[in-house]
Amino acid sequence: MKRRRILGLVLTVATVMFAAEPTADAVEGPGYDLHANIAYAPASPAGSHGHLLDLYIPRQPGPKRRPVLIAMGGSGWHGDDGKAYAAQLAPFFTRADYVVAGVSTRSSSQAKFPAQLYDVKAAIRWLRANAATYGMDPRRIAVMGDSSGGWTAAMAGVTGHDPALEGNVGVTGPPSDVQAVVDLYGPTDFLQMDAHMLPGACDGFNRSFGLTECHADPRSPESALLGSPIKTRPDLVKFASPIPYASKHSPPFLIAQGEHDGLVPIDQSDRLFAALSAAGAPATYYLVPGAGHDKRIVSPSQPVAIVRHTPGASRPGTRPTLKTIRAFLHHALAHR
């Protein structure tokens, strides 16, 4: 029953749409100033919210240029309000002198892959182009996401130096690379998901999403993202996987995965960590016993994780808490 509740919650979150008009608003929050609903590119389609971002600026005195943490929440690619996740992270990270940028990308019903990758890259370019205005350091940008937002973060991380994957959304000119990635249980190889699902998890997944063939279903979130059943387009599946792009130039990664995840099997994070390790990229991987597909994976009340790391990667803690993530980011961005 617990897995069913989690699956139902994910489906509910995936269908929530942002109701506000897409205009920029400045709001004061606890310890930060919020600049909401900034368009980093024209709405596409008109009236949608996938090209909006929110900026949380620390109010306390600090350095002239602060590092930036981009946050994107997951929705199974059904929603276009991933920027809402930043509201959960902003109180902690603005106190640590980060500018937090909540970034939304288009849903799978609004545009097919690689649109979502092009969107986040456009947001990164916008942040760099407007760094001086908001006191951001264009040399220190990290990206963090959970579930499909973790996939977007990972894709942005491993393709930052590939000009063929820039797209033509929004601002052009500034680079779209990032200097650190935090991937919370993001999928990484769609065709390998079903073979490694927990016993009974596909049944719950099918019931929640109205499917019959789990992730391989022609109507699955992954198939909807690609615009084709994933079993019929292995070329697109490879194109949409961060694994083939992993290289020695990839930025430092922190990966966190719940051992009891009923939506994204642990094999997905295993594969990404293995690819980064083989490529010689720095990566730290937290496998959390008992944790599911849940943002609470960062809670300090979670059990001590099984931690793996590549040579030279930081090991900032025994659990993937916000303090651990802050220490990871500090280490990753300090040398930039």
Residues 290 and 330: their CA atoms lie apart, in Å, by 28
The CB-based long-range contact list for 2-6 (8 Å cut-off, 24+ gap) reads: 2/292, 3/198, 3/200, 3/201, 3/204, 3/262, 3/292, 4/204, 4/207, 4/208, 6/262, 6/263, 6/292, 6/293, 6/294
Residues 221 and 204: their CA atoms lie apart, in Å, by 15
Beta strand residue intervals within 127-282, DSSP E: 136-146, 180-184, 253-258
**Where do the domains of the chain lie?**
2-334
DSSP structure string for 107-160: -TTT--TTHHHHHHHHHHHHHHHTHHHHTEEEEEEEEEEETHHHHHHHHHHHTT
Which CATH architecture does the domain made up of 2-334 adopt? 3-Layer(aba) Sandwich (3.40)
- The pLDDT tens digits of the residues spanning 45-71 come to 999 999 999 999 999 999 999 999 999
SS3 169: coil
Per the model's pLDDT, the better-predicted residue between 282 and 13 turns out to be 282
The pLDDT of residue 17 is above 70: no
Q: What is residue 290's DSSP assignment?
A: T
pLDDT at 29: 57
- Range from 5-9, 176-180, 294-298 carrying the lowest mean pLDDT: 5-9
- The pLDDT tens digits of the residues spanning 108-143 come to 999 999 999 999 999 999 999 999 999 999 999 999
Q: Give which of 151, 140, 30 is closest to 90, Cα–Cα.
A: 30
Q: How confident is the model at residue 20 (pLDDT cuts 50, 70, 90)?
A: very low
